[in-house]
């Protein structure tokens, strides 16, 4: 087991697990937090790094050194009833359903009661880039609800709604029928579209994702998958790299510069002279106390 990644021949534990094709980095982090990953017979911690001599075990299975195998990118038209999880003990999980000969994992989620386009891959580096909300990658859906929609519904959905104590981002919404509409999101909150509709007293009766970024579902039959074409992969990778670079530029340019502390200029500072308070008048006919005789004589002068 091992990986030669950095100059010290070590790699982060979540990247190592991801590179084996076991799961994405995000899922690897969850496994680590849950105590299901061990390095040399001790529980792994987030941020740990592993070297050639280390042994990594996930759920009792030793992780073999990742090989530079060909990266695969699949598009699946997920049917209703399939659960988007890599946990193969879950009945109807997406991994068993696809039954791909290499270990792959889904990018993002699609509810069990929803259908449509979802990606699967063994490229652990691309997952977070696609899912990161700041990159504003579009996902398009066709939705049917339980009663007729109107202009007010479209305006409220597109303007943003509060669900789970969070305001959804503005999005593109257009009616496609009496009870159907098209919606394009750039974020992916848990069951977001369903919760948005519920907040307006509507219930979703069907939901299909038809596009992710530049990849369209088109005529791919329900339950079938296909390889992404070379042009699709090139555009996809270019898009995530461009958005990644742009996000880093925004973060860097928005970081406020630390101002040097300004020292006072003695030439500009006005010296403040404190005047002594005027002495209190003393009654000449009154004999001063011994303890204050010196002060008495000073005041008399």
Q: Is 76 helix (H, G, I), strand (E, B) or coil?
A: strand
Phi, psi of 274 (to 5 degrees): -85, 120
Identify whether 111 is a catalytic site residue: yes
User: 188, 128 in Cβ contact below 8 A?
Assistant: no
Q: Is 210 helix (H, G, I), strand (E, B) or coil?
A: strand
Which one from 8, 111, 113, 265 is the annotated catalytic residue?
111
Integer angstrom CA distances of residue 163 from 54, 138, 179, 207: 45, 20, 22, 18
Cβ count within 10 A of residue 79: 15
**Of 213, 237, 215, which Cα lies nearest the Cα of 225?**
215
b/e 138-154 (16+ beta carbons within 10 angstroms → b): ebbbbbbbeeebeeebe
Cβ count within 10 A of residue 64: 11
* Active-site amino acid positions: 111
């Amino acid at each position: 087991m091992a990986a030669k990644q950095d100059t010290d021949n070590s790699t982060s534990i979540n990247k190592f697990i991801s590179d084996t094709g076991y799961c994405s980095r995000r899922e690897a982090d969850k496994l680590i937090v849950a105590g299901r990953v061990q390095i040399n017979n001790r529980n792994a911690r987030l941020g740990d790094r592993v070297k050639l001599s280390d042994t990594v075990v996930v759920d009792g299975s030793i992780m073999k050194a990742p090989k530079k195998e060909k990266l695969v990118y699949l598009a699946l038209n997920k049917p209703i009833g399939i659960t988007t999880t890599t946990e193969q003990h879950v009945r109807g999980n997406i991994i068993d359903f696809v039954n791909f000969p290499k270990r792959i994992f889904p990018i993002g989620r699609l509810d069990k009661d929803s259908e449509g386009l979802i990606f699967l891959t063994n490229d652990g580096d691309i997952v977070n880039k696609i899912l990161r909300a700041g990159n504003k990658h579009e996902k398009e859906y066709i939705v049917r609800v339980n009663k007729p929609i109107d202009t007010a519904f479209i305006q409220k959905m597109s303007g943003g709604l509060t669900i789970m104590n969070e305001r959804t981002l503005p999005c593109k919404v257009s009616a496609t029928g009496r009870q159907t509409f098209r919606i394009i999101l750039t974020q992916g909150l848990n069951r977001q579209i369903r919760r948005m509709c519920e907040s307006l007293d509507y219930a979703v009766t069907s939901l299909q994702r038809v596009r992710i970024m530049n990849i369209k579902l088109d005529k791919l039959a329900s339950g079938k998958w296909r390889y992404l074409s070379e042009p699709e992969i090139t555009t996809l990778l270019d898009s995530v790299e461009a958005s990644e670079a742009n996000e880093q530029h925004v973060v860097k340019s928005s970081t406020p510069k630390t101002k040097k502390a300004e020292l006072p200029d003695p030439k500009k500072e006005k010296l403040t002279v404190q005047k002594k308070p005027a002495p209190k008048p003393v009654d000449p006919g009154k004999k001063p106390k011994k303890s204050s005789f010196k002060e008495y004589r000073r005041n008399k002068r």
